[in-house]
Structure 1
Amino acid sequence: MENYAIEIVKDKEVHQFEVGEYAHHHDDKCKYRVFENGEYVASFEPDDHDFLHICQNPGNIDEEVLHLLADKIEAHHPHGVNDNIRKLKL
């Protein structure tokens, strides 16, 4: 899957992120990698209920911004962030 852009606005500050999905991730690696200005800044992993959790935050992005970003990533996948993994297991 190609990377896609997500914009987050918090306290009038605009963050432009690019999200990359790694459908063949392993349990010990994060499924979603996040870039800002071309630099890797964070990653997320889904739990058993398809809710994203912060996996890594090397860019020291404000956690509230990351939670807003997780919500938008989840909304980008309305049938669940783990659908690709489920299809692979069938």
Structure 2
Amino acid sequence: TGVGAASIISRSLGKGDKEKAIIAGGDSIILNTILNIITITPIYLFSDRILKFLGASSEVLPYAKDYLEIMLFGFIFLSFAVNGTNLIRAEGK
């Protein structure tokens, strides 16, 4: 979402349309939030099944689940950081 929004923002600022750039940035953040919810929620809810499907044994499963939960929580911040980096880069200053 960040790369597409960055393109729109850069072109909008180049044309002097600051309002469109602001809207594109906001839409990018909203879409990022929605995609995080859509992606993270099912993985969290079905983490046992997913990890077993990926081959986690009953001995490893509790540790893998703990690790996955930490990674999912961190993914939220990572996705906003990547998105934010693209939005800042699009400003071009």
With normalisation by structure 1, the TM-score equals 0.31
Q: Which has the larger radius of gyration?
A: 2
More helix by share: 2
Higher relative contact order (CA 8 A, sep 6+): 2
With normalisation by structure 2, the TM-score equals 0.31
